[in-house]
Structure 1
Amino acid sequence: MLLRLPVSVSEAQECLTEGAVPIGGATLVWATWQQDGFPDQAMSLRHLPEANVIEREALGAAVVLRQIDDRVPEALRRAASTVGTGAVRRTATVGGNLVGSTLRCLLPAALVLNARGVVLEVDRVHETDLAEVLAKRHLLLGLRWHEPVVSGYRKLDGEAGGPPPFIVAAAVHADGGRHLLRVAVRDGYEVLNDSTVYDIGTGTGTEQILNALQGTTLGTLDASGWDVVRQHVTEVLAGLTGH
């Protein structure tokens, strides 16, 4: 297998044209290839500048999870820190977790940031929503979002061999004189996300916000799931003090 390491977008597009298979950090594809056979050509974006940014409002798809720090919002940083073991986080990438994995531990955090995917195609680079990125398994160059006022992420402990652990993420975004609260959960393999708007000038309380949120798709969670959401949202809203 020939591993190609493009250093420009045009070179990466040339690799795609010639049939190179994107591999991310290879943590998910290696075992499959050992069983089913290796492709003639593979491509890693680890030397592509556009895929390696770490900023307050952008994160490259080739960034390994261990590199994600407080340059990005807390929800995304905490999400990366909970994926697998230290050894996995040293090689697994943002793009591999979001597009190549069935667990997608970063997805709830990306959703509450209202992140958009920067996609590389043979003839163009463009932005699109994450739903399209996942449905069409696009080659992801990175994520972009607008920085929230405050955000958070929580993953419950899981049992070995059991279902994926429950995840909840939340972020508050400034919206003029109002705030927009976005919440996303992973319950098993299902991901739900919704939002509610509230006017900070009216002194809207946490219970009122939670009641509004329970009227969204998140209200379909079972009692234990909703209790985790309630606790997490309460903690995130408490972080608005001083903002």
Structure 2
Amino acid sequence: MLLHLPTTVSEAQECMARDAVPIGGATLVWAGWQRDGFPEHAMSLRELPEANGIEREALGAAVVLHRIDDRVPEALRRAATSVGTGAVRRTATVGGNLVGSALRCLLPAALVLDARAVTLEPDGVYETDLSDALTKHHLLLGIRWREPIASGYRKQPAEAGGPPPLVVATAVHADPVGERRLRVAVRDGYDVLSATVPCDAGSEQALHALESTGVGTLPAAARDVVREQVSGIVAGLAGS
């Protein structure tokens, strides 16, 4: 296997033309390659500046999870710290978690931030819908979002090797006319669902509105966690 380390977008596009397989931190693909055989060409974006930024409203796909700190919103930071062990977080990347992982621990946080995907295509760099980019397995350079007023993330405890733990992410943004909107994303098993509701009138308004969305169809135990998270983030906005 020939591993390519492009340092410019044009070099990365040349690797794409050779059908180089993106590997992220290789934490998810290595065992499969050992079993099934290695690709002829692979590509890591760890030397590409466009994929390595950490900003208040942007995060590169090649950033390893242990580097994610309080420069990004709380939901993303806490999501990153919840992934695996310290050794895993020093290797696993943002792009690998979002695109290559079945669990996608960062996805609920990205969804509540209303993040957009920055993708690399053969003819250029584009910003597009995150869910669409993940479904179509576009080459992810990073994600961008608008800074929230507040955000949070909670992963329930779970036994190793058992079902995926419940994840609830929340964020509040102000819309163009100044009204506050609450976004909630829940990973229940391997499924992730999300909803956006008004929250200016308090947590009960938001929780009542959530009942008519997919969140309202969750099992009772999951809805209890959602209620706690929503009540906490909305209460924290009082006076702000």
- What TM-score, normalized to structure 2? 0.97
The equivalent of 1:223 in structure 2 is: 220
* 3-state SS in 2 of match to 1:180: strand
Partner of 1:241: 238
Deviation at 1:160? Answer: 2.2
* Superposition RMSD in Å: 1.0
For residues 117-169 of structure 1, the C-alpha deviation after alignment (integer angstroms, 9 at most, x for no partner) is 00111112111112211211111000000000000000000112211000000
Deviations 1:72-103 (A, max 9, x none): 00000000000000000000000000000000
- Counterpart position of 1:170: 170
Q: What 5-or-longer segments of structure 2 have no aligned partner?
A: none
Tell me if the contact between 2:103 and 2:190 (Cα under 8 Å) persists in the aligned partners: yes
For 1:205 and 1:140, the matched residues in 2 are separated by 37
1:25 CA drift (Å): 0.4
CA distance in 2, matches of 1:240, 1:8: 42
2:61 matched to which residue of 1?
Answer: 61
Structure 1: 5+ residue runs without aligned partners?
A: none
Query: Which residue of structure 2 aligns with residue 149 of structure 1?
Result: 149
Alignment map for 1:4-83 (pairs within 5 Å): 4-83=4-83
How far did residue 18 of structure 1 move?
Answer: 1.5
Hey, what's the Cα distance between the residues in 2 that align with 1:28 and 1:12? 21
State the secondary structure of the residue aligned to 1:38: coil
Structure 1 equivalent of residue 104 of structure 2: 104
Structure-2 separation of matches of 1:127 and 1:164 = 30
Q: Does 1:120 align with 2:120?
A: yes
User: Conserved in 1, the CA contact under 8 Å of 2:198 and 2:205?
Assistant: no
**In structure 2, what is the Cα distance between the partners aligned to 1:15 and 1:72?**
30
Structure 1-normalised TM-score? 0.96
Letter in 2 for 1:148: P
Distance in 2 between residues matched to 1:230 and 1:69, nearest whole Å:
27
Deviations 1:155-203 (A, max 9, x none): 00011221100000000001123101000000001111001024x3xxx
Q: Could you tell me how far apart the structure 1 residues matched to 2:203 and 2:100 are?
A: 37
1:242 CA displacement: 4.6
Q: Which residue of 1 aligns with 2:138?
A: 138
- What is the total number of aligned residue pairs between the two structures? 239
Shift of 1:24: 0.4
Aligned-residue sequence identity (percent) comes to 70
Match of 1:208 in 2: 205
Q: Distance in 1 between matches of 2:106 and 2:239?
A: 28
Q: CA deviation at 1:205?
A: 2.6
Q: What is the rounded CA distance, in whole Å, between the counterparts of 2:34 and 2:202 in structure 1?
A: 55
Is 1:180 equivalent to 2:181 in the alignment?
yes
Range with bigger deviation, 121-130 or 76-85: 121-130
Counterparts of 2:225 and 2:19, CA distance in 1? 45
Moved more, 91-100 or 129-138: 129-138
Alignment-mate amino acid for residue 158 of structure 2: G
